[in-house]
Amino acid sequence: MASRQITGDVLTDPTELRAHHDALYRFAILNVRNPTEAEDLVQATFLAALQARASFRGGCTVRTWLVGILKRKIIDAYRARQHDEAVPEAGGEQADEGSDADWLDALFARNGSWVVRPQAWDDPDQSLERQEFFQVLEACLQAVPGVAGRVFILREVMDLEPDEICKDLEISKSNYWVLMHRARLRLRGCLDKNWFAGLRRS
């Protein structure tokens, strides 16, 4: 299909707008975890898109273009937040980060071996064909607490480079590795419990 030119229609037609809105909102809330803030980001994205529609060149879909704008907005929001609250170092103790470290400690015995050994997942690729799997994945991503969740989503869902994430969130590279490791353990545990355990039983 020839790439559509962006005209006012694409961004003001209610049906079209609603289809984009749902996806953009879900993408935003995954990152900011606050309905009001997520909605503000989506509105800001539509506004920016309307203002910049002359610069849309095709070559990608309208949705990809909108998601690109939204990504920028999300990162800007993080940046702005840096000035209000310092991101705690993974080693430093802040309420949720401290309990997150406790949680990690509970996963491994004192000698560093698994307390509960990860169980095998049956043909995980097959889950990628299922809509419900992605709903569970989204819920599990939202359940990864604090900065670890933020960093992980920027890297794995938004596909930013590690160096860029460290710069945007003002964290050190070593802190980045710690947070990614924690997030992976969390996400693995959540999906195991809420998705793959069900497949094992059935």
- Contacting residues toward other proteins, per CB under 8 A: 19, 22-24, 26-27, 61-64, 67, 107-108, 111-114, 117-121, 124-125, 127-128, 131, 133-135, 137-138, 141, 153, 155-159, 162, 177-178, 180-181, 184-185, 187-188, 191
- Taking the complex as a whole, how short is the minimal distance between the CB of residue 157 and other proteins, in angstroms? 5
Nearer to other proteins, 88 or 162 (CB): 162
Residue 94 CB, shortest distance to other proteins, in Å, is: 21
For other proteins, which is the closer residue by CB, 44 or 107? 107
* CB crowding 125-146: b at 16 or more within 10 Å, else e: eebeeeeebeebbeebbeebbb
Q: In this complex, which beta carbon is closest to other proteins, that of residue 24 or of residue 171? A: 24
Residue 43: CB minimum distance to other proteins, A: 17
C-alpha closest to that of 88 among 160, 183, 172, 31? 172
Residue 43 to residues 9, 39, 201, 202, Cα–Cα distance (Å): 16, 6, 43, 43
Shortest distance (Å) from residue 164 CB to other proteins: 12
36 vs 113 by CB, closer to other proteins: 113
